[in-house]
Structure 1
Amino acid sequence: MLRKYSNHRTVSDNIKLGGLTAFSAGMVNVISVIVFFSFTSNITGYYAVFAQELSKGNWYQGAVVLFWILLFFFGSLISNLVIIHGKKLWGQYISHAVPVILELLSILFVGVYLDFFYKDTLQETELLVGALLFAMGLQNGLTASISNSVIKTTHLTGLTTDLAILVSMFTKSKNRQNKQLVDKFHLLLTILFSYFLGGLVSGLYYVKFGNQTFYLVCFVLVIIAFFDFYKLKRVKYLYERRARIKKASCKEYGMS
């Protein structure tokens, strides 16, 4: 899911990564709306808010919104810097997993702060919203980079447009037989459904468990970060086991 890069990725790799990251993004967006009354999975609307605040002369509010936009930007920037330069230091898998771990730590920080330190002040809220936007920037930068911009999971505006284009293309029978287009359609539907499902789960979970919902998001990110680690360990174990069995069989055959 995280090991492969760009054109080396399979449709299955992209569907797994897109589905799980979209699920976590949907969770984050809904929980941030519930707790902070702010969207955090994308910054499209914040550009309009930024212009509005400046036009009204609300310099402080404008600066806060600009701060949020920059945090999303730097999240994506850091994610791609790690991917580009981390491969030589740690290998491809770890360099792809680091942005997910940083995202996890950002969301964990928000959950812990809400549980133990939050005084419900405006400044605290602005900081925590910024932390979530930074986390979503990390995620969007990662998924877009390693999938060659095929996967973008933190906002659905462009995805909905792409779906509409594909549906219109499928009105021609030859396009319905095009495997590349069909695979893309399945990927986009997976991301859309996963985002919605993540938001639904987040809202329902918050009703019973409150701010602990942030820890559930962290659990999903742990799965994303370490899924390939488990898979690699399992493959290595099976390979070594077969080698031992083969070696034992050869010895037994030699003795006989």
Structure 2
Amino acid sequence: MLAFSAGAINAMALLTFTNNAVSHVTGTITQAMSALTVESHHASYYLLSIVGCFFLGAVTSGMIIHNEALRLGRSYGTALFIEAVVLFAATYYFYHHKMTGELLASFACGLQNAMIATYSGSVIRTTHLTGIVSDLGAALGHMISRRALNLPQLVMQGSILLAFSAGAFVGAKMLNIVGMVALLLPATIVLCASIGYMLMLRRHKTS
């Protein structure tokens, strides 16, 4: 769900008025440094602000959850609820063609990406695919050389790849159909994930 929503968010940000990515920082920093070479200081400042908001989102996640390893009982519901609220606010600013929308979306992605960093000994990122594709490629190399594979890890990483790709496709489609309010879709998904986790946690505590 989170990878799907991140794919949708990033597609919508890339296809709107400023065409900037918000779910990862590598390309954004590259653009910022490129802008500096032609003395486009305003563009560079804004691009670095997107990176800064992603970083602040990760800081917020660390303050709420206190640990990178996935474990039932941690405050994921609170983190997801904050992310959903931020995405609803970002929708408002995107709808009014305000750059604040991109900054808020980047903050939300940073919060989400830092929330679950490790699971079953593997690094999990839900807002970009570089590490996922690298790990899947390495796994294919291991298979070719007849080494042991971690099948559950491969299934999870493959699922994240497919979910992010599907989210990007759906996000782009919805943007063409309904415009900027399409961002309500990932915001609602994250809100449902927050509520679902809180209900599951409550049921677990009472059982």
Which residue, 14, 36, 43 being the options, matches 2:25? Answer: 43
The Cα shift of 1:145 comes to 6.0
Q: How does 1:47-126 map to 2 (within 5 A)?
A: 47-84=29-66, 92-93=73-74, 95-115=75-95, 118=96, 120=97, 124-125=98-99
Please list every run of 5 or more consecutive structure 2 residues that lacks an aligned counterpart in the other structure. none
> Deviation string for 1:122-167 (max 9, x for gaps)?
xx22x22111111110110112167776210111112111110011
Q: How does 1:133-144 map to 2 (within 5 A)?
A: 133-144=106-117
Kindly indicate whether the alpha-carbon contact (under 8 Å) linking 2:92 and 2:101 is maintained by their aligned counterparts in 1: no
Kindly indicate whether the alpha-carbon contact (under 8 Å) linking 1:80 and 1:145 is maintained by their aligned counterparts in 2: no
Match of 1:205 in 2: 174
The Cα shift of 1:207 comes to 2.7
Match of 2:5 in 1: 24
Q: Aligned pairs, how many?
A: 202
Give the Cα separation in 2 of the matches to 1:51 and 1:216: 33
Counting helix residues as a fraction of each chain, which structure ranks higher? Answer: 1
The Cα shift of 1:203 comes to 1.9
Match of 1:9 in 2: none
Match of 1:219 in 2: 188
Please list every run of 5 or more consecutive structure 1 residues that lacks an aligned counterpart in the other structure. 1-19, 86-90, 240-256
Secondary structure at the counterpart of residue 24 of structure 2: coil
Give the Cα separation in 2 of the matches to 1:148 and 1:191: 16
Query: Does 1:132 find its partner at 2:105?
Result: yes
**Percent identity at matched positions?**
24
Kindly indicate whether the alpha-carbon contact (under 8 Å) linking 1:31 and 1:203 is maintained by their aligned counterparts in 2: yes
Give the Cα separation in 1 of the matches to 2:32 and 2:120: 31
Taking a change above 3 Å as real, the CA distance of residues 99 and 70 of structure 1, as seen in their structure-2 partners, is same
Give the aligned residue type for 1:77. V
Give the Cα separation in 1 of the matches to 2:182 and 2:122: 29
Taking a change above 3 Å as real, the CA distance of residues 113 and 43 of structure 1, as seen in their structure-2 partners, is same
Taking a change above 3 Å as real, the CA distance of residues 149 and 59 of structure 1, as seen in their structure-2 partners, is farther
Q: Could you tell me the TM-score, scaled by structure 1's length?
A: 0.71
Give the Cα separation in 2 of the matches to 1:147 and 1:105: 30
Secondary structure at the counterpart of residue 132 of structure 2: helix
The Cα shift of 1:35 comes to 1.9
Which residue, 126, 129, 153 being the options, matches 1:156? Answer: 129
Secondary structure at the counterpart of residue 170 of structure 1: helix
